[in-house]
Structure 1
Amino acid sequence: MALVAVLWITAALSLMLTGMTGSVRQEVRAATSARQFVEGRAQGEAAINIVLQQMAAQPASITQQAVVAVPYRGINVQVQVLPMGGLIDVKSASPELLQALFVIAGGLAPGPATAAAQAVVQWRTRPGSTGQPLGLEAPEDLMLVPGFPYDVYARIAPLIAAGQSSGGTVNPLSAPSAVLLVLARGNAAVAARIAAARDARQVGIDLTQLEASFIGGSTSRAYRLTANVPLPDGAGMSFSQSITFQASAQSELPWRILQNSGAISVTPGTTDRS
């Protein structure tokens, strides 16, 4: 009986040790991920600031979507720069443009998309205490519109701005491919042709197959920059920052931060493995 008791105690201790070892490993992975997250964000912010300094020195250097490789402390951070004039401004876009956005990029059926577009227009034009329309101050303010579906917002979030683009129309020469698809009313061949010609720096691009009421030629000094940072374990993280070069007189920098994205994505790496 004593031998049996010893064997049971040994087995129990082994199980406890195994459980403690697994718990410690999980804590180590969590701590490693947290440290890499903080370091990765700092590296991404530094890379964005380097690109902004270059843009401030050469104001006309980026007029359409571009990717800038920034070597920083032994890693290569890819910074995507997107002029916000190429995004759809939910603060001033027409109901027709909003409806096309909700159908083509948001995945809504035409009927619900029309209703959602009308709801957004009614919400942004409601008067405030001064009698002036309250508008939409940030893209995520769409979620304040009664009944607006979150899944639609999640799909269109990379394609929209609020008050920092070209006043209701979109500059197709600055627009990402997904926005071009909306401007082409879902015609993928047209959107691809224009994107290819633009990326090849062709002049005199034929835009006649885009919806004329959706497009304009104005430019914006506001940009959305997204830093994609490789992490040591093979994972990667990215986050966005929206800025404008219309800085206030009190600012020590030639740009002003409009928004730091709360949506930080992390691609899997070895720290996610069990």
Structure 2
Amino acid sequence: MSHLNQQVAKQQGIALIAVLWVVAALGIMVVGMIHVVKGETRLAAQLQRTTLDSGIADAAIRLALQQTLLANKKEFKTIEVTTVQVFDRTIQVEFIPLNGLINLNHAPIALLADAFQYAAGLPKEQATALAQAIDLERQKRNAKGEAAKMHSPEDLLRIPGIDYDLAALVMPLFTTDLEDTQRVNPLAAPLAVLTVLAQGNAALAQQVFQTRIERGDTTDTTQLSGNHLQISSTGQIAVRATLSSGDNMAVVRVWRLALSGDSHGLPWRVLGQDPPFQISTSSTPP
């Protein structure tokens, strides 16, 4: 073979290798694009399903509220559960008195300190210092000379010494939707708040929590911190709808409402609505 033919053959071989590399690269790009498209399709389908389920959950909340008001029930002392049917789907709806949470604007400093000590695991001195800082913040005056108060548990982030991680631990324990309530109703408190009321005794809190499921308002709460307890009814409630969405998951929707007080002629006043979120159907609601 002549030198010229050898050069041509070599160039053809290099060209073939280049073509193969390009084909391989295009193949990888196509596979990647297919993977991205499939992922986007799954995400869009999931978003569509969540949006639909959220709308059904909202409808379930309205139906359950209508049934409650028809029964002339405007206050709750314990957590009550019912089910409603919407489009042949069964939705569980819970009525949760908000006085089972710690009132961020009116709870005494000692109760605030207990929340940081037993829910976030802070030393007593640090927990007390944060509680005192919260008390100073909520006593600040606005332009009208009134106590400015806090408008949501997220306002804890305004307090020096409270970062996002710490706030995430304690925010679920608090509410700003109550008026002047200073104590906590243990018959409506979530497990985390019961642990605070039990001075960090998780076993006692779990015992009260389980007994409450079985016995309701006859539950013995005398072993909890009596200084911070007040069993009473309230018209400020959270209504929580849980709708199974398949794949061992459920969509949860929560409205916070006032059934009593000034509602400007409406059957209820919406205090706030949480964005829908998903939980495992095998988990225990918080």
TM-score w.r.t. structure 1 length?
0.85
**Residue 60 of structure 1: CA displacement?**
6.0
Distance 1:166 1:173 in 2: 19
Equivalent pair of 1:55/1:61 in contact (CA under 8 Å):
no
Distance 1:62 1:31 in 2: 39
Distance 1:33 1:205 in 2: 41
- Residue 261 of structure 1 aligns to a residue whose secondary structure is strand
Distance 1:197 1:165 in 2: 29
Partner of 1:95: 109
CA pair 147-207 structure 1, distance change in 2 beyond 3 A = same
Query: Which residue type is aligned with residue 222 of structure 1?
Result: Q
**Residue 243 of structure 1: CA displacement?**
0.6
Partner of 1:254: 267
CA pair 130-5 structure 1, distance change in 2 beyond 3 A = closer
Equivalent pair of 2:53/2:245 in contact (CA under 8 Å):
yes
Partner of 1:147: 161
**Residue 36 of structure 1: CA displacement?**
1.7
Q: Superposition pairs for residues 153-172 of structure 1, below 5 Å?
A: 153-164=167-178, 167-172=181-186
- Residue 231 of structure 1 aligns to a residue whose secondary structure is strand
CA pair 202-257 structure 1, distance change in 2 beyond 3 A = closer
CA pair 155-56 structure 1, distance change in 2 beyond 3 A = farther
Partner of 2:278: 266
State the identity %: 33
How many positions carry a matched residue from both structures?
A: 267
Q: Deviations over 1:219-272 (max 9, x none)?
A: 210111222232255543323221111364534x3111101124x433489xxx
Query: Which residue type is aligned with residue 202 of structure 2?
Result: A
Partner of 1:217: 231
CA pair 173-236 structure 1, distance change in 2 beyond 3 A = closer
- Residue 182 of structure 1 aligns to a residue whose secondary structure is helix
- Residue 130 of structure 1 aligns to a residue whose secondary structure is coil
- Residue 179 of structure 1 aligns to a residue whose secondary structure is helix
1:40 to 45, 48, 53: 53
Q: Superposition pairs for residues 130-141 of structure 1, below 5 Å?
A: 130-141=144-155
- Residue 217 of structure 1 aligns to a residue whose secondary structure is coil
Query: Which residue type is aligned with residue 84 of structure 2?
Result: V
Q: Which runs of 5+ in 1 are unaligned?
A: 270-274
Equivalent pair of 1:241/1:257 in contact (CA under 8 Å):
yes
Equivalent pair of 1:143/1:149 in contact (CA under 8 Å):
yes
Partner of 1:174: 188
Q: Which runs of 5+ in 2 are unaligned?
A: 1-11, 282-286
TM-score w.r.t. structure 2 length?
0.82
Q: Deviations over 1:191-235 (max 9, x none)?
A: 334334433336765433222220113321011122223225554
**Residue 29 of structure 1: CA displacement?**
1.7
**Residue 92 of structure 1: CA displacement?**
0.3
**Residue 8 of structure 1: CA displacement?**
3.9
Deviates more, 1:78-87 or 1:90-99: 78-87
Partner of 1:201: 215
Partner of 1:19: 32
- Residue 215 of structure 2 aligns to a residue whose secondary structure is coil
Partner of 1:272: none
Partner of 1:110: 124
